[in-house]
Amino acid sequence: MEPAEIKNSVYRGQAADLLKELAHSDGFVQATRGKIDSSRMLDCEFVNRFIAFRLLGVERYGGNLEDFLNDAMIRLQKEDDDTLERCRKDFLKAMTYARRIFGDTAFRKLNANGRYGGINKPLYDAVSVNLAKLSEQDCLILLERKEQLLHSYTALLRDAEFLDNITNGTAKIRNVQDRHSKIYKIFQEVLADD
């Protein structure tokens, strides 16, 4: 099957329905401040990215983002209701806490002038998937320790290596793994701080 044929077949049915539902959810719209264009299904691509990294796992990413997103859709098409519900809950939890913790700066890259730019897909992937992996209780702890987390997060956004990682060669395996592990690390450091 050609990639276009795969997309045509997988963008129907339960996988496509879930993507559309989550892309239009209040949680996603609020976390992204309504800045993701839905006219060309960009909002569905954001949801697809989340589901791919959450469902398949960062460690299974092979370096071709398009193939990875398609693989996630093919798998999602075959999943049972429990898995679909888990994806739904994980996504909505991640969006809720991204908004509550990061506010208007959620998923946005810090530019050299100190201002926040537009929503950055690689940053979105790393933050949302790592929030989804946490328990509700751990998310609440991060929210409680929001100031400490934002301090570490802002420092990470100013780190030249991390910035390069979310800006250049973003689909390279090493860059994908690095950004996910660095976001995971700052979440864990804040959670471990007693």
pLDDT in tens, 65-105: 999 999 999 999 999 999 999 999 999 999 999 999 999 99
Whether the Cβ atoms of residue 76 and residue 133 lie closer than 8 Å to each other: no
pLDDT class of 40 with cuts at 50, 70, 90: confident
> 139 versus 112: which is more confidently predicted?
139
Task: With cut-offs at 50, 70 and 90, classify the pLDDT of residue 41.
Answer: confident
Instruction: Please return the burial class of 59, using the count of CB atoms within 10 Å of its CB with bins 0-12, 13-18 and 19+.
Output: exposed
What phi and psi, each to the nearest 5 degrees, are found at residue 107? 65, 15
pTM for this structure?
Answer: 0.93
